[in-house]
Chains A and B, each alone.
Chain A
Amino acid sequence: MAFRDEWLRARAVAWKDLMAERRSKAGFNSVAALGVTILVLFGFALGPDAEAIRAAAPGALWLAALFAGVLAFNRSYQVELDGGALEPLLMYPGARRSIFAGKLLANFVFVFLLLVIVIAVSLVLFHITVPSTWPRLLLVVLLGEVGLVTLGTFYAAMASRSRAREVLLPLLLFPMLVPVLLAAMQATKALLVGDVMHDAGAWTSLLVAYDVIFLISTFLAFDYVIEA
């Protein structure tokens, strides 16, 4: 019963965030445009050589998602802080972790849509052919996204309420995300060339371990972060 209550609360928070986003659209459109811009800039950095571009595509794709996603994480608290709505939200009865779960869910949907656009554009710009193992690729994308969004939503709860939030969030978040980015890039790279070395499996298990460890620890720690 208690679990059901928490799920309903989390869903309400997620629904509220997504609704606010859908009504303004400004947030998503600008973040998606930034994601595409970053891909284009990577294209310039990697030169016109088609082979080099294709080899570096998984890295470029994940970094574009990371740089654009970071803006989404701070935004998800910023809208509420500007409207003075975070305090009332915290005063609702029930565990604070359902607020975190809700924000996590909303950010997951937001970043997923961002990834759809970034991947679609990468397919075109970086001459990627979709491999036959695409369901595994989708799994890697989703697992990588979970890691990215979990820590992003968590650290944004601190950074968005500090001075210099634009600097602080990437500074805290990026070093923590090294394993998830490395694993996601390597697994994506392996699957795009048909996983000839059979190392995508190991990277996928690393992603699963990372996601489980940080989902648990962020849920445990969120109460401390939001109470102050």
Chain B
Amino acid sequence: MTAAAAFTLEVPKSGRWPIFGWFAVLFLAGAQITAFAISPPDRDMGDLQKILYVHVPAAWNMGICYLLVAIYSFRYLWKRDDRDDLIAASAAEVGTLLNGLTLVLGMIWARPTWGVWWVWDARLTSTLIMFLVFAGYLALRAFVEEPDRRALWSAVAGIMGAINYPIVYMSVRWWRTIHQVQSTPSTLDPTYTFSLRLNAVAVLFILIYFIRRRYEAALTERVTEQLSQAAALGGPLHA
């Protein structure tokens, strides 16, 4: 009997979420079209600059996902509510996806700009290492079957990964650095800033939708696990 069993889980209802999903997709399409239509090609980079509107929003939203993993992992350790664990897991999956997207889009941009697909710069390298840390997190979840154990361990691993990020970044930065200094709103033309923010919000909507649907699926799986456990024990499911 563990603390987690004290919470009754129910199969979630999708409700209006599919409508929100369509809204998010259309919003993203609109934001992309706006970015292409209103912002002029960059003087040096030309239309290559347009990759900014997917690369940077993906990177920002990846950060949001990892922050959610850390927050919900702490919350799980505190409250021991299975739902927090499942939200952390969903956020980790979406975060890893956005992390991979950030890396790939960055490489596509780097090849014509820097002449190589990859450079061992602080930002790139620490983003890649973060991808590997969360690949480890997802592997841990896949290889541990017992639900309470999986939840506790992955909460700890998620927090450790989050603690490690600044140290990884620092260490690789000392090692070597060539990533261009981030543009700030003051160095960027307002038309670029507006399009960039619009697209960041669009990806944020997609992120919310993905996490929600992944969470629904995870919760359904978890309820199934509990039901089959109860059936195996031969008794009725007790809350």
Chain A contact residues, CB within 8 Å of chain B:
158, 161-164, 167-168, 171-172, 174-176, 178-179, 182-183, 186, 202-203, 206, 209-210, 213-214, 217, 221, 224-225, 227-228
User: Which A residues are in CB contact (< 8 Å) with B201?
Assistant: none
A148: min CB distance to chain B, Å = 14
Contact of B144 among A162, A179, A186, A227 (CB under 8 A): A162
The answer to whether B140 touches A178 (Cβ under 8 A) is: no
Contact of A168 among B140, B152, B167, B172 (CB under 8 A): B140
Known: A172-B157, A228-B148. A206 touches B140 (CB 8 A): no
The answer to whether A206 touches B170 (Cβ under 8 A) is: yes
Q: Is the interface of B mostly helix, strand, loop or mixed?
A: helix
Bitwise interface map of B from 109 to 140 toward A, beta carbon under 8 Å scored 1, else 0: 00000000000000000000100110111011
The answer to whether B143 touches A164 (Cβ under 8 A) is: yes
> Once bound together, how far apart are the Cα atoms of A183 and B172, in whole Å?
9
B135: min CB distance to chain A, Å = 7
Contact of A179 among B77, B140, B145, B167 (CB under 8 A): B167
Q: Is the interface of A mostly helix, strand, loop or mixed?
A: helix
Interface residues of B in 150-208 (CB under 8 A from A): 152-153, 155-157, 159-161, 163-164, 167-168, 170-172, 174-175
A97: min CB distance to chain B, Å = 14
The answer to whether B140 touches A228 (Cβ under 8 A) is: no
B105: min CB distance to chain A, Å = 21
> Once bound together, how far apart are the Cα atoms of A203 and B135, in whole Å?
28
> Once bound together, how far apart are the Cα atoms of A123 and B139, in whole Å?
38
The answer to whether B143 touches A168 (Cβ under 8 A) is: yes
> Once bound together, how far apart are the Cα atoms of A163 and B149, in whole Å?
13
> Once bound together, how far apart are the Cα atoms of A227 and B128, in whole Å?
32
Closest 8 CB pairs of A and B: A228-B149, A179-B171, A175-B132, A172-B136, A228-B152, A175-B133, A171-B136, A179-B167
